[in-house]
Amino acid sequence: MRKGMLYAATAYVIWGLLPLYFKALQSIAPTQIMLHRMVWSLLFLLCVLVWRKQWSWLGDALRQPKVLGAFMLSAVLLSTNWFVYIWAVNSGRIIDSSLGYFINPLVNVLLGYVVLGERLRGVQWVAVALAACGVAWLTWITGQPPWIGLTLAVTFGFYGLMRKTAKLGPLEGLSLETLLLFPFALAALAWLTLHQQNAFLDASTQSQWLLMAAGPITAIPLLLFAAGARRIPMSTLGLLQYIGPSLQLALGVLLYNEPFSGDRLIGFAAIWSALVVYSGEGVWRAWRVRNFPVTTES
């Protein structure tokens, strides 16, 4: 239990501090950062697979078109999420990106209802309604929907849905996704190199090392998260997941001085209220089941 909490919390702290990493690469275009993230992630994951001698799944996966198609779709969703997040951070929109990960748990609830046919309890509907009010308020005060947050929440929500129903485990699934993206990323970097537009070649040594570090920075928190999720209850994991966006919001407001007016605070407060309702109900139900288990008599 303690190890599980440590693994999961560490993963969320790394994700929460990612703006510091991407800000250090602000001189490089988000598209190129994403391409390097794909390439170096695969190389890092290959090293992990070699170390663990975990290859038996690959041959079977490559012979199943449906599996390849599903993981190609999840890879596209993941890369879209990456690109929007990187662009938002380096465009001074860290607060907007944090909104996406605050909304994400409620998007997951709606996807479970719409796609998987899961029933929503009354309190969960209240949480969804509060979040919808917060999004509507932010849309009204800015004149447009908070598209950065919504895009991040929806793409990661659908990505999580696909991984939930996937046949492969976390390490194998992430490895297959990066393997499928690798040829496109490598071809794009080759084209940029031929046209003398590959920023990696002209970047400082520090920036080159940071780009190569994209592999472990991407894979390690995902593996820590997977290890933690296997050891702790979902209610605990649900509470820990707010570490990431909370750190991102704090960085945006306190370190990078992004504007956070009272009007925006009202919208965020509605969404935070939704999360308190949603998480509180989940914790209460878990406590009730643990202390008052339902027994059936034969």
141-187 pLDDT, tens per residue? 888 889 999 999 999 888 888 877 777 888 888 899 999 999 999 99
Q: Which of 9-13, 136-140, 207-211, 219-223 has the lowest mean pLDDT?
A: 219-223
What's the whole-number mean pLDDT along residues 232-259?
Answer: 84
Give the chain's count of helices (H) and strands (E): 15, 0
Q: What is the pLDDT of residue 296?
A: 45
What does the pLDDT look like over 43-72, one tens digit per residue? 999 998 999 888 888 888 888 998 899 999
Instruction: Of 72, 76, 65, 97, give the one whose Cα is nearest residue 34.
Output: 76
Count other Cβ atoms within 10 Å, centred on residue 290.
10
- CB-based burial of residue 194 (10 Å sphere; 0-12 exposed, 13-18 middle, 19+ buried)? exposed
Nearest-angstrom CA–CA distance, 118 and 121: 10
Nearest-angstrom CA–CA distance, 93 and 251: 11
Nearest-angstrom CA–CA distance, 146 and 142: 8
- Which residues are CB-neighbours of 80 under 8 A, at least 6 positions away? 151, 155
**Is residue 243 scored above 60 in pLDDT?**
yes
Q: How confident is the model at residue 297 (pLDDT cuts 50, 70, 90)?
A: very low
DSSP structure class, residue 204:
-
Helix, strand, coil distribution of the chain in percent, nearest 5: 80, 0, 20
Q: What are phi and psi of 6, to 5 degrees?
A: -65, -45
Nearest-angstrom CA–CA distance, 107 and 156: 9
Q: Reduced to 3 states, what is the DSSP secondary structure of residue 269?
A: helix
Q: What is the pLDDT of residue 294?
A: 59
What's the whole-number mean pLDDT along residues 247-261?
Answer: 92
Range among 86-100, 104-118, 152-166, 231-245 with highest mean pLDDT value: 86-100
